[in-house]
Chains A and B, each alone.
Chain A
Amino acid sequence: MEFEAVIGLEIHVQLKTRTKMFCGDSVEFGAEPNTNVCPVCLGLPGALPVINRQAVELGVRAALGLGCEVHETSVFARKNYFYPDLPKGYQITQYDRPLATGGELAVPNADGGEPIRVRIRRIHLEEDAGKSLHDRIPGMTAVDLNRAGVPLIEIVTEPDLRSPAQARAFLVRLKQLLEYLEVSDCDMEKGSLRVDANVSIRPAGSAELGTKTEVKNMNSFANVERALAFEIERQIAVVRGGGKVVQETLLWDQARGEARPMRSKEESHDYRYFPDPDLPSLVLDRVAVEAARAGLPELPAAKAARFREQYGLPAYDIEVLTASREVADYFEAVAREAGDAKAASNWVMTAVLAWMNEKQRPIRDLPVPPGHLAQLIGLTADGTLSVTIARRVFERMAETGQPPAEIVETEGLAQVRDVAQLRQWVAEVLAEHGAEVERYRAGEQKIFGFLMGQIMKKSRGKADPRQASALLREALEA
């Protein structure tokens, strides 16, 4: 029997705020343990939560970007359970009245068919727990509460994904969208984006859902894909062996490449949700929500469509250029100023992305403003610079931040088109390579390339190749 996987994802995203969800402590990453804490996030007796306006605004923006219905009234509830890094003995989260419901995100289909439409079930606001370190002090758990109370949204999808690859593709799209919306920095290493997956299998073509398991602790998109593949295979093996999948939570062990059942849930969980009596309803102003909707940036799908339309770029280029909003904006600025989208695209996709990859830095750190790159494109278009020299000039621009003309000027890199100078280089090369000249004249045509190379070398790359080649031929045939 053929099996099909059914996957739904729960994604926790840290919102880009300066302070915590319910108190004014900093959310700065990497501070000394237990320094960004106050009565509220320490869960001290008598402390009370107050909702962070910026967190609400970012949550609303994310919900609008995912096409959700944003609810005018949502309610914070308490999820009660004990854990050393949960200071109050409950987490404040939205439960039966979430911020938003019913969105969608389309993911390109790797098989080339129609895009996969992944429905978003809900988005809700909540606070993060602290961090427990179980191996720092022997036999003890060490608790750092700097993270406790950091604002999160949880995005829950419907079980619309059918393979680990699709799940990964969805996450790539989601991250791209959230970055466009400037809702989160989505840095998995810093824990600002975390993914849990619900997985089940069923006979291909069946409409029923099988028993699902939950897989946690996957700290990269690649690991999500691996963990899901592992778990799907495991479930298929269980069913093929005549067994039944048990509903449970599994932890992905990256080092061993396997997902193992979590044992710390000693008794069945009963979270005893109830509305947090410390927090009245979160009521959004309809006008403000509409203003937020109107203020959304152009989203990836719309941008890609426009790039196709406006610049006539190939699909691959569009994919690369729109992967991040910053790169897309940079490309557009260069294209506008250079008046040549194709050239702008080529430069961004090669030189600019190479710099970003090499330096592992975002484009905003690139010392070359779009105007400078546009000037460089102009200098190659009018023949002042050869492509090779232009790449060298770009490297200098990326080091110094100088405009290209200045670099060309101070380093004398402009292409030499002065006929007298070119003739002199030709003459010198012919004189120095008498033997090769003889061979060429005897009919060995490929020697021409060698001689051209010598001219370029002598000119340190600056000789205008078209002119130099004409003059060389002229000299050889004379």
Chain B
Amino acid sequence: MAFPGLADLVAEIRSGKRTAADTVAASCRAITEAESGATPLGAFLAFDPERAASDAARIDAALAAGHAAGPLAGVPVAVKDNICTVDYPTTCGSRILQGYRSPFDATAVRRLREAGAVIVGKTNLDEFAMGSSTENSAFGPTRNPHDPTRVPGGSSGGSAAAVAAGLVPAALGSDTGGSVRQPAAFCGVVGIKPTYGRVSRYGLVAFASSLDQIGTFGRTVADAALLLQVISGPDPRDSTCADRPVPELTVALEMDARGLVVGVPREYFPPELDPRIAELCRAALDRLARAGAEIREVSLGHTRYAIATYYIIAPAEASSNLARFDGVRYGFRAEADNTVAVYERSRSLGFGEEVKRRIVLGTFALSAGYHDRYYGRAQRVRTLIAREFQEVFASGVDVLFTPTTPTLPFRFGERSDDPYAMYLADVFTVTANLAGIPALSLPIGAVDGLPVGGQLLADRWNEAGLVRAAAALEQALQEG
């Protein structure tokens, strides 16, 4: 099914042209259908048409009673299953949290509800958001809606696939090293990772706290931006969430590309980049130039250290963040006759292979004798990477344009034997997380029916500039 854009959808619900109940029911029907049969999409880990219907009925009743409608009144939204919700389990795609029901809502979820959105279900992911293919979910993989033999990307593969398949008009994901942008690219939708500190992490189950941000998916830049607008802003429950006003992204959508300075960092076009992706990137830049943007080649020399830096810092933080899953207070507990055995058995049976690999890697990077060489050094390189971006943006570049991924969506199992090859799927996306800057992926074309994404990056707190450039590019591509 196809939803109109969010702005139109909400306008129709508000004007009574359609009801929240019908809209949500349509979404739930589509989900039920997609998740049944011989080859289910695997996008949802939980969905509940009855609950969604009753939430939608409440919205309709409020509208009928003349109460103010929120900016997302009646919009069905899917939420990645590492974001806490009181009305659905929150499993993080892990056996260790199978059936776990969070006793509180994430701040982003609370804001969605307050805006009138109806949460129709929780989406599949790589376990604890660790992965780039959604193959690492304990509850089975998600298929790419464009080709069921291929991965949807990850870790927010479920949310990306759900939006791409038209099951929901918008969804929440989380992005630690590209987990919103890479699946957005693979599934042919728009994904935004905001500036670190723009959206509260309260209720996002931590993978790597200094890199994690909740991000949004939509079919268009406008839809992803509207969802972001709703969930952004200060939160007293997250000390790393900035006390800054949220920019009006809808205004940015109306601006065009004239005068925009687009930097193209040459390090993001290496020989390994699929030439067909490179070609689409060049075409997109041509369109932008024709629409009035200035294209400027720039250099970000430390990019080559980004994957190494990321794969020390993220596992190090993860090794500590995942220590709480010990089988004592909640979640899965394996039978054993003493405390240490309970810990070891619960964690060994509860966590999947990739999670264990990263816990071991991260524990090693922090351990006595290796801390300075690995963790300490990586945090210094991270400073260098962030500075480099600051310098480029200070030189008058408004946004940077790069491919989102070095390859087309790959087939299941293609990379599962070589963790490092899988890590390279994040090569263009991890820098934004390391530097804390906002970034966005949008479809820039297709190769053999498989979508290709282009990435835009902007300076910290410049979501408005990011969205302006993305909307302008989207427009330019449509005009053909």
Contacts and interface: CB of A to CB of B under 8 A. Distances in A.
Interface of A: 39, 42-51, 78, 80, 82, 84, 87-90, 141, 143, 145, 266, 270, 272, 274, 277-280
A266 B323 CA distance: 18
A48 B236 contact: no
Nearest to B241: A48
Contact of B202 (A48, A87, A89, A280): A48
Contacts of A39: 103-104
B409 interface: no
Given A274-B371, A279-B239, A47 B323 contact: no
B137 interface: no
Interface string B167-180: 00000000000000
A278 B90 CA distance: 21
Contact of A272 (B205, B329, B330, B363): B363
B340 to A, nearest CB: 7
A90 B104 CA distance: 22
Contacts of B238: 48, 50
A301 B181 CA distance: 64
Contact of B324 (A88, A145, A277, A278): A88
Nearest to A88: B324
Contacts of B371: 272, 274
A272 to B, nearest CB: 4
Given A43-B329, A274-B375, 10 more contacts: A46-B90, A46-B203, A46-B206, A48-B237, A48-B238, A50-B238, A90-B320, A141-B339, A270-B367, A277-B240
Interface of B: 83-84, 90, 92, 97, 100, 102-104, 106, 201-206, 208-210, 236-240, 316-317, 319-320, 322-326, 328-330, 339-340, 343, 363, 366-368, 371, 375
Nearest to A267: B340
Give the dominant DSSP class at A's interface.
Answer: loop
Contacts, number: 103
B343 A82 contact: yes
Contacts of B375: 274
26 contacts: A42-B329, A44-B103, A45-B97, A46-B104, A46-B201, A46-B202, A46-B203, A47-B104, A47-B203, A48-B201, A48-B202, A48-B239, A80-B366, A82-B343, A90-B323, A141-B339, A145-B329, A270-B368, A272-B371, A274-B316, A277-B208, A277-B209, A277-B317, A278-B206, A278-B239, A280-B239
Given A42-B329, A141-B339, A270-B367, A50 B97 contact: no
A44 B330 contact: yes
A266 B340 contact: yes
Contact of A45 (B100, B210, B237, B326): B100
Given A45-B90, A48-B202, A266-B340, A89 B367 contact: no
A192 to B, nearest CB: 25
Q: Which 5 A-B pairs have the closest CB atoms?
A: A89-B323, A277-B210, A277-B209, A272-B366, A45-B205
A43 B330 CA distance: 10
Contacts of A51: 239
A278 B201 CA distance: 9
Contacts of A80: 319-320, 323, 366
A30 B64 CA distance: 51
Contacts of B239: 48-51, 278-280
B209 A45 contact: no
A19 B239 CA distance: 17
A80 B363 CA distance: 10
